[in-house]
Amino acid sequence: MRWALAALTVAAFLTFGLEATTGPVPVLALGVGLLYTAVAIVGYRWVDEYAGSRRRSWAIAFVGWQLLIGYATFGTEPGTGATLLICVLIAQTVHLLGVLPAVVLVAVTPLVHLGMDMGEGLRAGAGSLIAGAFTAVVVVFFEREQRARAELADAHRQLRGYAEQAEELATTRERNRVARDIHDGLGHHLTVVQMQVQAARAVLPDDPARADAVLAKAQQQAGEALAEVRRSVAALREPRTLPALPDAVAALVAESSAAGVATELELVGTARELDSERTEALYRAVQEGLTNVRKHADAGSVAVRLDFTAADTVAVEVRDDGRGADGGTPGFGLVGLRERAEALGGSLERTSVPGAGTTLRVAVPG
């Protein structure tokens, strides 16, 4: 805006200068026009950039001074160049003081023609009024367009920031999902393998045949762990599929019993089909609960309850008769289960009484 007005000021002065050379007092006219041009370029820039908190006061003084010099230019050479110089001042006024002061300036511009004959003065005054009004309208629309561009650029910057935040959030969620899958799947199988190897070592000196059978189960679990790793990798490319929830939970219960902890399954209500996310969340809840029983509970028996009685909720419950816990900081597995449940609008509850066992309950809408 500043450079455009400076160029317009120079062009107006050149026009004024060409007209002044044929006037009655060319030297005076050129001097007045040069003073107007210098103040229009230097003074306007100073007020616009450096006036600080007193910018409006300096802007009013600048416009008043330029208006007086503008009247003087008309007095020495009342032509097109002088009109263009006044139009420059109108444009500067719109920028410095706003539309209303510019309208006042446009209204008083025709007064420079008061010394002319009535007919000629009216024609010249109308021309000045139209030129001034046109200048003010153009500058107003130009400034609005500039503000719109600035607001659009700012909106684009904000959108880029939001996109980066969304991408970072999506990456974090995916990282947490993969971490949960590795913990819930691979961690579960490796826990079973560890316990079966320990059991095999314990009976190996006295009962090699039983040890061999236990090691065979450990080998099977190791194979399932490897398959779990492959499924986790494949899940990065395509959705994971699970059997129906009762069948998947029954397999976990049988696996837990085979690992040495008596485990029973209770199915309450009529089983219904769930989507993959809910099936996965409830399956992982049972898997994590049974894994924790084998690792920490020192339990003699476990009861798994799969509850479909509520019309809009499905719940699983893993309850053991082990030594319980002291209610310390939950591990990553329970944190992951809570995240899965809450992401689906569900909940996780864990109660543990020292010496009386632990109950884990997860419920999700479905």
| Torsion of Cα atoms, 84 then 85 then 91 then 96, to 10° | 180
Q: Is residue 220 part of a domain?
A: no
Provide, rounded to the nearest whole percent, the portion of the chain with pLDDT above 90.
Answer: 20
- Bridge partners (DSSP) of residue 305 are 266, 317
- Which of the listed residues 89, 115, 141 is the one where a domain comes to its end? 115
Name, in order, each residue with C-beta under 8 angstroms of 220's C-beta and a sequence gap of 6 or more: none
- Which of the listed residues 115, 142, 172 is the one where a domain comes to its end? 115
Q: Is residue 137 part of a domain?
A: no
E strand map for the chain: 262-268, 301-307, 313-320, 347-353, 357-365
Q: pLDDT (tens digit, 9 = 90+) per residue, 37-54?
A: 999 999 888 988 887 888
Task: Please tell me the pTM assigned to this model.
Answer: 0.46
Q: Is residue 198 part of a domain?
A: no
State which residues form the domain around 33. 2-115
Q: Which tokens sit at 128?
A: 């000045």
Q: Is residue 312 part of a domain?
A: yes
What is the structure's pLDDT at 305?
94
Q: Is residue 140 part of a domain?
A: no
pLDDT at 346 over 90: yes
Number of domains present in the structure of the chain = 2
Q: Is residue 247 part of a domain?
A: yes
The CATH number covering residue 356 comes to 3.30.565.10
For residues 249 and 7, what is the distance between their CA atoms, to the nearest angstrom? 81
What is the structure's pLDDT at 181?
66
Q: Is residue 107 part of a domain?
A: yes
Q: pLDDT (tens digit, 9 = 90+) per residue, 180-227?
A: 666 666 666 677 777 777 777 777 777 888 778 777 777 777 777 776
Among 19-23, 98-102, 138-142, 203-207, the range scoring the smallest mean pLDDT is 203-207
What is the structure's pLDDT at 314?
94
What is the structure's pLDDT at 177?
66
- Which of the listed residues 115, 134, 154 is the one where a domain comes to its end? 115
pLDDT at 64 over 60: yes
For residues 113 and 74, what is the distance between their CA atoms, to the nearest angstrom? 8
350 to each of 175, 188, 281, 330, 342, how far by Cα in Å?
A: 25, 19, 16, 10, 15
Q: pLDDT (tens digit, 9 = 90+) per residue, 229-242?
A: 666 665 555 555 66
Straight-line distance from the first to the last Cα atom of the chain, in angstroms, rounded to the nearest whole number: 62
Q: Is residue 108 part of a domain?
A: yes
pLDDT band at 174 (very low <50, low <70, confident <90, very high): low
Q: Which tokens sit at 144?
A: 């609005």
pLDDT at 113 over 80: no
Provide, rounded to the nearest whole percent, the portion of the chain with pLDDT above 70.
Answer: 87
As a whole number, mean pLDDT of residues 310-333 equals 81
For residues 88 and 132, what is the distance between their CA atoms, to the nearest angstrom? 9
Summary mean pLDDT of the chain: 83
